[in-house]
Amino acid sequence: MNSINTDTAAMNRIADILDKKRDMIKLSLSACVHCSICSESCFKFNSNKKDPTYTPAYKVINSIGRIYKKKGKLSDSEYDKIKILIWDKCVLCMRCYCPLGISIPSLIACARSVCREKGFYRTYDETADGPEI
């Protein structure tokens, strides 16, 4: 298991982000009844053979849910997995529908903010050699 990077400045910023969104995260996580209705409105779920890891609720619970419960103290490999969930498996199209009114995009965006502070974010030239300098 990878070690947990506890860069103090980054952890403080993460704590700030989680603190500001605490009420929304807490309420959303407790309100989700795992009905999976949100999956029907997710085009990524529908276009990936209904793979359950594309279910919006799954993405929320396993990204910001994990981050919130562990106060951002996750290993790099865990952040890597979260990065795949919230960037590769979600495009923030904001079409996901929750009958209970949970704002799934806001939660994913919050998870992205935390990941950015930890230095995990999607780069769009990952497979290329990078810019010529």
Q: Does 128 bind another protein (CB under 8 A)?
A: yes
Q: Which is nearer to another protein, 43 or 121 (CB)?
A: 121
Q: Which is nearer to another protein, 6 or 19 (CB)?
A: 19
Which value, to the nearest 10 degrees, does the dihedral of the CA atoms of residues 70, 53, 10, 109 take? -110
Q: Which amino acid is located at 131 in the chain?
A: P
Find where tokens 């490999």 sit: 77
The region of 3-11, 31-39, 44-52, 120-128 touching another protein under the rule CB under 8 A is 120-128
Q: Which is nearer to another protein, 6 or 123 (CB)?
A: 123
Q: Are 41 and 102 in contact (CB under 8 A)?
A: no
Q: Does 94 bind another protein (CB under 8 A)?
A: yes
Q: Which is nearer to another protein, 37 or 105 (CB)?
A: 105
Exactly one of 60, 113, 114, 118 binds another protein (CB under 8 A); that residue is 113
Distance CA 99, CA 76 (A): 34
Distance CA 117, CA 93 (A): 22
Q: Does 11 bind another protein (CB under 8 A)?
A: no
Q: Does 125 bind another protein (CB under 8 A)?
A: yes
Residues that bind another protein (CB under 8 A): 20, 92, 94, 103, 105-106, 109, 112-113, 116, 121-125, 127-128, 131
